[in-house]
Amino acid sequence: MKYMLIMRATDEAFAGMEEIGFDALLATVGRYNEELIRAGVLLAAEGLAEAAEGAVVDYASDPPVVTDGPYGGAEKLFSGFYILDVASKEEAVEWARRMPLTGPGFRTEIRRVSTIDEFPQDNEWIQKERAWREDTGQL
């Protein structure tokens, strides 16, 4: 099963990371990533650029409203993610417990990633997506 670990941090938690120093931060996260790789569970891991570089499209009106970042409070944003291939939610939780950036203001949300097999296979759009995934080596 695939699970996404979504990292969230408050502004104060981010500020605390600056005190650590970038090289030390990379080493800390790098050791964790290496553990995930050795265990054979890491599928993807990405950090996200600051919210100020992004945008939000709000569909509450027609036409949708686009707002450039920064937007929302830090508690609504996430700064990066991991996608793991593990046997259970419990295993995903155990990996999240080992996350190296922890303390007040840090949170990790764990969500199972649905697979294409969970959708109606007789649906035209699911069949097209399955064909694309097969053509691109994703299935």
Which CATH number goes with the domain that contains 82? 3.30.70.1060
pTM, full prediction: 0.84
E-only strand ranges, 15-92: 42-47, 55-58, 65-68, 80-85
DSSP 29: H
Report the number of distinct structural domains present in the chain: 1
76 falls in which pLDDT band (50, 70, 90)? Answer: low
* Domain around 114: 2-135
CA angle (25, 28, 31) in 5-degree steps: 145
Q: What is the arithmetic mean of pLDDT over 42-67? A: 91
Q: What is the arithmetic mean of pLDDT over 104-127? A: 94
Q: Which residue has the higher pLDDT, 67 or 90?
A: 90
Mean pLDDT check: name the lowest of 10-14, 41-45, 98-102.
10-14
Q: Does the structure show a pLDDT above 90 at 102?
A: no
Q: Does the structure show a pLDDT above 90 at 73?
A: no
